[in-house]
Structure 1
Amino acid sequence: MSGRLARFALWLYRWGGVALYPVVGPYLALRVAKGKEDRARRRERYGVASAARPAGPLVWFHAASVGETNALVPLIREVRRRGIAVLLTTGTVTSAKIVAERLGDTVVHQYVPLDVKPAVSRFLEYWHPDLAVVAESEIWPMTILELGARRIPQVLVNGRISDRSFERWKRRPAFADALFENFALVVAQSEGDAERFRALGALPVLVSGNLKVDTDAPPVDRAVLRTYLDQIGERRTWAAISTFEGEEEAVANVHRALRPRTGLLTILVPRHPERADAIEEMLKARGLKVARRTRNDPLTPETDIFLGDTIGEMGLYLRLTELAFVGRSLAGEGGQNPLEPAMLGCAVLSGSNVQNFRDTYQTLVAGGGARIVRDVEMLAKGVHYLLMNDDRRKQMIEAGQESVQEMRGALRATVKGLEPYINPLTVKARLHPRQPG
């Protein structure tokens, strides 16, 4: 694609969004009906603010969902420590709850505007941020172009590009260059990600490591944790977390194979809890007794599967075991982040499809904190071996925690990269402090 064609494609994207803007309402209404939008705050998706803009300099952070939100929390706290106001946008109802729990009223939260010109323009005209910081792989053409037109610096932090996304961008190099050249800075998770961003036209690009390593361990309600630990007693447990369709059947097969020999309790946490009803039906059809977190079902000696059908409680589920299989890696594609289980003291098992977290898995496997399994049979053997060999399991746990510790430092590197943009705002904030009230 030539530069002229790329500019034409962006022009079509811009004005196509304007043309489609009047019919966005039914789309949002459908998402509200599915519980994917906050009905009371739906207008925020049109760029209509529901809160007052703080006085003084303002940094706009954007995180798509829960994982990205958690990764940004330490960085946001560092910016707030300097007296700079923060606007944080997210794209999901769940991530909005995480913001309220972890950051409270220290930031202004809004839902991110739809990537169409009327919504983005309205949003930027009202909030007028001094700096925009987006997390991981959030590339929204209209938002990028509108920020560029206003000469608002844009920084991508904790940046990563999956194999599939990179191949798509490579097929449209002029289009990629027209977008990525708008970033004042890209802070990538790994050298491999950095090379990909450079190939797509981003400059300068720094490498920080993964911000998720520098986050706090997922929180837990200690009273709830104690209740479940008491109910579990001496039973052996393992967890299958962030599972995708097809993997729950594999987990059921592993449980049925091992329960007679181990008295096993399996903790199953699907990536999308809205699938819980269908998953429970499948498990019951296989003769398994299911307890669900949303029903506060007790874990009795007869319980086979504890179905973790909530969001934001991974800190609970992982503290109930010392062994975790991380999903989207056997039946799914790309894998899920293994850092939380390693951080919380779990030996980690995963399928081989972990392209999206390749560097993290390479570090954990090399250090001895994680193992890759090829199929369900190998998963069952791995679970059985680690459950029955306490010393080997504990060695893996210690190795995983050592690897996590070695990977720390991304927050410090990211803050250093951002200093040319946030230091002037720090001075401005100190010269003109916000008035209370």
Structure 2
Amino acid sequence: MSGRVARVALGTYRLAGMLAYPVIGPYLAYRSAKGKEDRARRLERFGYASANRPQGPLVWFHAASVGETNAVTPLIREIRRRDINVILTTGTTTSAKLASDRLGEEAIHQYVPLDIKPAVGRFLDYWQPDCAMIAESEIWPMTIMELGQRRIPQILVNARMSDRSFARWQRRPAIAEALFENMAVVVAQSDLDAERFRDLGAMQVSISGNLKVDTDAPPYDAAVFARYKKQIGDRKTWAAISTFEGEENAAAVVHRTLKERDAQLTIIVPRHPERCDDIEQMLTAQGLKVARRTRDDVLSPDVDVFLGDTIGEMGLYLRMTEVAFVGRSLFAQGGQNPLEPAMLGCAILSGGQVQNFRDAYQKLARNGSARMVRDVEMLAKGVHYLLTNDEVRHGMIDAGIATVHEMRGALSSTLKSLEPYINPLTVKARLLPKTMAQG
């Protein structure tokens, strides 16, 4: 009975995609006008290739956005070291830029095809991947079914299952089992993630830890950093990063509270830079002077807030401070990645809604490198305390760096789980004539 329910539900999903196909073009055009799609490469979303398929084995990686792209970059490089070709798909323009900056020609980048049968089928017909690796929690039913029908091994890497997603899948156990049983292996971030994937029907599950710990520290422009540091001078700084709606206003409240006690510069880096015009308007309405990275504004002594409105420069913003509040945790739920500020030498503050990064926060908090705040008032007190207590701040920084080092090893664990699928492709790639392998 459950199998029949799953077949009907997935068949309905397939039919809905087919019916929606004619109106998707105008929808993507609308998103392009908003800057959320790459107009010049829109056909990639329908499965049309804009690059040549190289000769030899090919692994398809999919990473939805910036965080997932960062996480799988070291794994992609390891696959390339084995002479296996890689195509990386992402879903956002920001992650496409990051892929270009970080990987260059090491991987072919395409936008992920829409999860409808014609687009996915066209993509798979052209690229014919030998294996598909999907990062974290991207579950697209049509893509999974199409890969399953073609007997292409599909693997979830750095896999996690949030509380909300797990509850949603539990309400549809037959569908969950019909999809997750297609996974050749799930390489989970934590024991809890592994248990959840097993409960939902995944047959082979291993545990690696978080690949984000094994990534390089975010890069930065040393000349730009030096210029800003000179402009800041002796002022204290703190940063609110990866913020969501409401958290920028919280940062403004903190700034105005602390401004009465000491000269300081607040750095705000929203998770979605397209919101920055509205954020600047909100800040200036409160009487705060705003400098923006995209305008290359000078951080003069009267500047209150430096608005980080660029993509791919988190390494710059975090190096400009030693105290970082990590957003999507105070007024939005789920949390954002705390590992980058930890590895770059920041004492970490966060709201309590960090379910998506529970394991990382537990380890950081247990070692004394992250502190949770309940509200804006507590955030202001935490920022002031850390800015004025060098010994405590540096102790948290040292603990964060040590915690990151303790957590490393996910890359080697992941590669071990992938050996049955990667080793045969390595042999096949290295048996190819050199001219063909380079094509």
Q: Same fold judged by TM-score > 0.5?
A: yes
Cα distance between partner residues in 2 of 1:434 and 1:291: 53
Aligned to 2:123: 123
Q: How many residues align?
A: 437
Deviation per residue, 1:254-275 (Å, 9 max, x gap): 1001012120100011111111
State the Cα distance separating 1:40 from its structure 2 match. 0.8
Listed as ranges, the matches of 1:113-262 within 5 Å are 113-262=113-262
Listed as ranges, the matches of 1:231-380 within 5 Å are 231-380=231-380
For 2:65, the aligned partner's letter is: S
Cα distance between partner residues in 2 of 1:96 and 1:417: 27
Aligned to 1:419: 419
Cα distance between partner residues in 1 of 2:296 and 2:170: 49
State the Cα distance separating 1:291 from its structure 2 match. 0.4
Cα distance between partner residues in 1 of 2:15 and 2:238: 52
State the Cα distance separating 1:117 from its structure 2 match. 0.0
Cα distance between partner residues in 2 of 1:305 and 1:361: 27
For 1:334, the aligned partner's letter is: G
The answer to whether the 8 Å contact 1:56/1:433 transfers is no
The answer to whether the 8 Å contact 1:56/1:434 transfers is no
Cα distance between partner residues in 2 of 1:105 and 1:361: 35
Deviation per residue, 1:76-123 (Å, 9 max, x gap): 000000000101111111111111111111111111000000000000
The answer to whether the 8 Å contact 1:352/1:374 transfers is yes
State the Cα distance separating 1:434 from its structure 2 match. 4.9
Moved more, 140-149 or 243-252: 243-252
The answer to whether the 8 Å contact 1:328/1:353 transfers is yes
The answer to whether the 8 Å contact 1:55/1:434 transfers is no
Cα distance between partner residues in 2 of 1:123 and 1:351: 41
Cα distance between partner residues in 2 of 1:294 and 1:346: 24
Q: Secondary structure at the match of 2:42?
A: helix
Unaligned 5+ residue runs, structure 2?
none
State the Cα distance separating 1:244 from its structure 2 match. 0.8
Aligned to 1:28: 28
Cα distance between partner residues in 2 of 1:422 and 1:12: 35
Aligned residues: percent identity?
A: 73
The answer to whether the 8 Å contact 1:235/1:264 transfers is yes
Cα distance between partner residues in 2 of 1:324 and 1:133: 33
For 1:365, the aligned partner's letter is: A
Cα distance between partner residues in 2 of 1:288 and 1:16: 49
State the Cα distance separating 1:332 from its structure 2 match. 0.7
Deviation per residue, 1:172-211 (Å, 9 max, x gap): 0000000000000000000000000000000110010000
State the Cα distance separating 1:15 from its structure 2 match. 2.2
State the Cα distance separating 1:345 from its structure 2 match. 0.2
Cα distance between partner residues in 2 of 1:278 and 1:88: 33
State the Cα distance separating 1:2 from its structure 2 match. 2.1
Q: Secondary structure at the match of 1:109?
A: strand
Moved more, 421-430 or 252-261: 252-261
Cα distance between partner residues in 2 of 1:434 and 1:108: 19
For 1:137, the aligned partner's letter is: S
Cα distance between partner residues in 1 of 2:353 and 2:88: 32
The answer to whether the 8 Å contact 1:364/1:370 transfers is yes
Cα distance between partner residues in 2 of 1:85 and 1:250: 46
For 1:97, the aligned partner's letter is: K
Cα distance between partner residues in 2 of 1:373 and 1:15: 47
Deviation per residue, 1:42-64 (Å, 9 max, x gap): 10000000111000010000000
Listed as ranges, the matches of 1:65-104 within 5 Å are 65-104=65-104
For 2:173, the aligned partner's letter is: P
Cα distance between partner residues in 1 of 2:433 and 2:178: 38
Cα distance between partner residues in 1 of 2:92 and 2:282: 28
Deviation per residue, 1:310-365 (Å, 9 max, x gap): 11110000000000000111111111110000010000000011111111100000
Q: Secondary structure at the match of 1:151?
A: coil
The answer to whether the 8 Å contact 1:90/1:112 transfers is yes
Aligned to 1:17: 17
Aligned to 1:41: 41
Aligned to 1:410: 410
Cα distance between partner residues in 2 of 1:348 and 1:68: 21
State the Cα distance separating 1:23 from its structure 2 match. 1.6
Cα distance between partner residues in 2 of 1:258 and 1:142: 52
Q: Secondary structure at the match of 1:311?
A: coil
Cα distance between partner residues in 1 of 2:261 and 2:322: 18
Cα distance between partner residues in 1 of 2:196 and 2:403: 25
State the Cα distance separating 1:433 from its structure 2 match. 4.1
Deviation per residue, 1:141-187 (Å, 9 max, x gap): 00000000000000000000111110000000000000000000000
Q: Secondary structure at the match of 2:242?
A: strand
Q: Secondary structure at the match of 2:397?
A: helix
Cα distance between partner residues in 2 of 1:173 and 1:297: 53
Deviation per residue, 1:118-148 (Å, 9 max, x gap): 0000000000000000000000000000000
Determine if the alignment matches structure 1 residue 60 to structure 2 residue 60: yes
Aligned to 2:108: 108
Q: Secondary structure at the match of 2:268?
A: strand
Cα distance between partner residues in 1 of 2:48 and 2:216: 33
Cα distance between partner residues in 2 of 1:303 and 1:19: 53
Cα distance between partner residues in 1 of 2:170 and 2:349: 33
